[in-house]
Amino acid sequence: MAVYFECTTRTSTPRSELFDLARSIDVHKDSMAGSREDAVAGVRSGLISLGEEVTWRAWHFGIPFRMTSRITQMEAPGYFVDEQIKGPFRRFRHVHEFSEDAEGTRMVDRIEFAAPFGPVGRVAEKLVLARYLRRLIEARNRHLTADPQPK
């Protein structure tokens, strides 16, 4: 069984600019400095695109992790999807959606994941990992929408 959650962020940043900020390896590294996240293989800087992969190394819960993700779908500047192809989760999928309306830009992150630990993992998914991942995504989104942003 998987856990699913959404985070919605509103901003005055134009949709196309926010789309690129969300794909930026450099901006992602800056936003995840607290977990010492670094791109160690694949696309290591600049913008990641359809079919490309990045391997991240980070520390969470005091433990080093590696996770390789691939951009499996993309339609600029509306959405892109990254999915774990190797790493700590049984499954991890992150849909990034961007839309504009009269109030500005709306970014929605749709996260679906499954922990690797069987029945114990199901408890950890809901009690620990879902909250932890939600806080990470919300912190990342605050970083993306802060002014001024590095390019």
pLDDT per residue as tens, the chain (151 positions): 688 999 999 999 999 999 999 999 999 999 998 889 999 999 999 999 999 999 999 998 888 999 999 999 999 999 999 999 999 999 999 999 999 999 899 999 999 998 877 666 666 677 788 999 999 999 999 999 986 544 4
Cis peptide before 77 (omega within 30 of 0): yes
- The one-letter amino acid at 62: G
Q: What is the pLDDT of residue 34?
A: 85
Q: How far apart are CA 16 and CA 115, in angstroms?
A: 33
Reduced to 3 states (helix: H, G, I; strand: E, B; else coil), residue 19 is: helix
Q: Which residues pair with 60 in a beta bridge?
A: 63
Domains of the chain: 3-145 (3.30.530.20)
C-alpha separations of 99 from 18, 77, 84, 148 in Å? 10, 8, 25, 21
Q: What is the pLDDT of residue 151?
A: 46
Q: How far apart are CA 57 and CA 87, in angstroms?
A: 10
Reduced to 3 states (helix: H, G, I; strand: E, B; else coil), residue 73 is: strand
Q: Which of 4, 8, 2, 5 is nearest to 138 (CA)?
A: 8
